[in-house]
Structure 1
Amino acid sequence: MKRLLIVAFTIACIGSRQQSKGTAQQGAPPSEQQPAPIAAQGPAAQPDGGVSAQIGKQTGKVPEPAAAPPPAGQMAQSAPNAVAETPLMPDEPFRAQVPPPLARQPHFDPPVPVQRKLKNGARVLIVENHSLPLVAVSVRFLHGIDADRMQKPGLADFVSDTVDEGTKTRSAVNLAEEIEDLAAHLGAGVSLETANVGLNCLTETLPKALELLADVVENPAFRDEDVERVRVLKLTALEQKKANPGALAADEAARILYGPDHPWGQPAGGTPQSIGSITAADLAAFHARWWVPNDAVISVAGDVKAGEIVRLLDEKLASWKPHPLPRLSLPAFPRLTRREIVAREKPGTTQAQVWVVGRLFKATDPDAIPMRVANLTLGGLFTSRLNMNLRETHGYTYGVGSSVSLMRRSGTFAARGGIVAKNTVEAVAEYENELQRFSSGEISDAELSASKEALVRGLPAALETNDAVASAMGNLVSLGLPLDYYRTFPARVGKVSHADVKRVVKKWITPGRWPVVIVGPVEQSKEALERLNLGPVSIAPAVPGGKPSAAAP
Structure 2
Amino acid sequence: MLQTRPEPGAAQPYTFPKPQRLQVGGGSVIAIDVPGQSFAAIRLIQPAGGAAEPLDRMGVATLTGEVLEDGIHGNSSLAPALERHGAEWVSRVSWDAFVTGVDAPVNRITDATALFAEAVRTPALRADDVLRRREQLLERFWLDVSQPSTLASRAVGGQLFTGRYATPLNGGPVRLADVTPEIVAEFHASSIAGVAGTLVVVGDLSDVDLEALGRTVFGDATPTAPEPVTAPERAAGEFPRILLLNRPDSVQSAIFMAHHAPSRSAIDLPRAEGMSDVLGGMFTSRLNMKLREELGYTYGVGCRFDLRRDSGVFCISTQVEAPTTAHSITASLEEIDKLRTGGVTEGELSAVRESNTVGLPVTYSTARSLAYAMVEMVVHDLPEDHVDRLRAGFERVTAEDLRQAAVDYLHPDQLVAVVVGDAGQLEKPLRETGVGPVEVRDPETLWT
TM-score range, shorter chain: over 0.9
Aligned residue for 2:38? 133
Report deviation, 1:109: 2.6
Q: TM-score, with normalisation over the residues of structure 2?
A: 0.93
Alpha carbons of 1:323 and 1:341: their partners in 2 closer, same or farther (altered >3 Å)? closer
Q: How does 1:372-451 map to 2 (within 5 A)?
A: 372-440=273-341, 442-451=343-352
Instruction: Please state whether the residue corresponding to 2:413 is helix, strand or coil.
Output: helix
What amino acid is aligned across from residue 153 of structure 1 in structure 2? M
Cα shift readout 1:172-208 (whole Å, capped 9, x = no counterpart): 3543331111111013121111111021111111111
Cα shift readout 1:141-172 (whole Å, capped 9, x = no counterpart): 123111222123211111111112122xx333
Larger Rg: 1
2:51 to 126, 146, 166: 146
State whether residues 340 and 404 of structure 2, in contact with CA within 8 Å, keep that contact through their aligned partners in structure 1: no
Aligned residue for 1:160? 65
State whether residues 292 and 321 of structure 1, in contact with CA within 8 Å, keep that contact through their aligned partners in structure 2: no
Aligned residue for 1:309? 210
1:250 to 130, 148, 153: 153
Give 5+ residue unaligned stretches, structure 1: 1-91, 547-553
State whether residues 124 and 299 of structure 1, in contact with CA within 8 Å, keep that contact through their aligned partners in structure 2: yes
Alpha carbons of 1:285 and 1:106: their partners in 2 closer, same or farther (altered >3 Å)? same
Aligned residue for 1:224? 127
State whether residues 138 and 300 of structure 1, in contact with CA within 8 Å, keep that contact through their aligned partners in structure 2: yes
Alpha carbons of 1:274 and 1:105: their partners in 2 closer, same or farther (altered >3 Å)? closer
Cα shift readout 1:58-88 (whole Å, capped 9, x = no counterpart): xxxxxxxxxxxxxxxxxxxxxxxxxxxxxxx
Q: What is the distance in 2 between the residues matched to 1:336 and 1:544?
A: 19
Q: How does 1:2-21 map to 2 (within 5 A)?
A: none
1:209 to 104, 112, 121: 112
Instruction: Please state whether the residue corresponding to 1:136 is helix, strand or coil.
Output: strand
Give 5+ residue unaligned stretches, structure 2: none
Cα shift readout 1:351-382 (whole Å, capped 9, x = no counterpart): 21112111111222352221111111000001
Aligned residue for 2:242? 341
State whether residues 139 and 297 of structure 1, in contact with CA within 8 Å, keep that contact through their aligned partners in structure 2: yes
Aligned residue for 2:18? 112
Q: What is the distance in 1 between the residues matched to 2:380 and 2:154?
A: 23
The question of 1:196 aligning with 2:99 is answered yes
Report deviation, 1:434: 1.0
Larger mean CA deviation between 378-387 and 366-375 belongs to: 366-375
Cα shift readout 1:259-304 (whole Å, capped 9, x = no counterpart): 2xx2121034223332322111100111122226756221111021
Alpha carbons of 1:420 and 1:514: their partners in 2 closer, same or farther (altered >3 Å)? same
Report deviation, 1:112: 2.6
Aligned residue for 1:49? none
Q: What is the distance in 2 between the residues matched to 1:255 and 1:379?
A: 24
Larger mean CA deviation between 413-422 and 501-510 belongs to: 501-510
Report deviation, 1:105: 4.9
Cα shift readout 1:413-448 (whole Å, capped 9, x = no counterpart): 111111112211221121121122122261111111
Aligned residue for 1:486? 387
State whether residues 128 and 306 of structure 1, in contact with CA within 8 Å, keep that contact through their aligned partners in structure 2: no
Cα shift readout 1:322-347 (whole Å, capped 9, x = no counterpart): 47688787752236762111111112
Aligned residue for 1:320? 221
Instruction: Please state whether the residue corresponding to 2:389 is helix, strand or coil.
Output: helix
1:235 to 123, 135, 138: 138
Report deviation, 1:239: 2.5
Aligned residue for 1:464? 365
State whether residues 203 and 303 of structure 1, in contact with CA within 8 Å, keep that contact through their aligned partners in structure 2: yes
Q: Which has the higher contact order (CA 8 A, sep 6+)?
A: 2
Instruction: Please state whether the residue corresponding to 1:116 is helix, strand or coil.
Output: strand
Aligned residue for 1:474? 375
Report deviation, 1:104: 6.7
Aligned residue for 2:412? 511
2:7 to 82, 90, 101: 101
1:175 to 65, 78, 84: 78
Q: What is the distance in 2 between the residues matched to 1:545 and 1:510?
A: 25
Larger mean CA deviation between 468-477 and 313-322 belongs to: 313-322
Percent same amino acid at aligned positions?
A: 24
State the superposition RMSD in angstroms.
2.5
Instruction: Please state whether the residue corresponding to 2:315 is helix, strand or coil.
Output: strand
Alpha carbons of 1:300 and 1:441: their partners in 2 closer, same or farther (altered >3 Å)? farther
Aligned residue for 1:20? none
Instruction: Please state whether the residue corresponding to 1:397 is helix, strand or coil.
Output: coil
Q: What is the distance in 1 between the residues matched to 2:419 and 2:267?
A: 33
What amino acid is aligned across from residue 258 of structure 2 in structure 1? V
Larger mean CA deviation between 100-109 and 197-206 belongs to: 100-109
Cα shift readout 1:228-281 (whole Å, capped 9, x = no counterpart): 22122112112213411112111221111222xx21210342233323221111
Instruction: Please state whether the residue corresponding to 1:446 is helix, strand or coil.
Output: helix
1:541 to 425, 442, 445: 442
Alpha carbons of 1:331 and 1:473: their partners in 2 closer, same or farther (altered >3 Å)? closer
Report deviation, 1:395: 0.8
Instruction: Please state whether the residue corresponding to 1:341 is helix, strand or coil.
Output: strand
Aligned residue for 2:199? 298
Alpha carbons of 1:177 and 1:297: their partners in 2 closer, same or farther (altered >3 Å)? same
State whether residues 114 and 306 of structure 1, in contact with CA within 8 Å, keep that contact through their aligned partners in structure 2: no
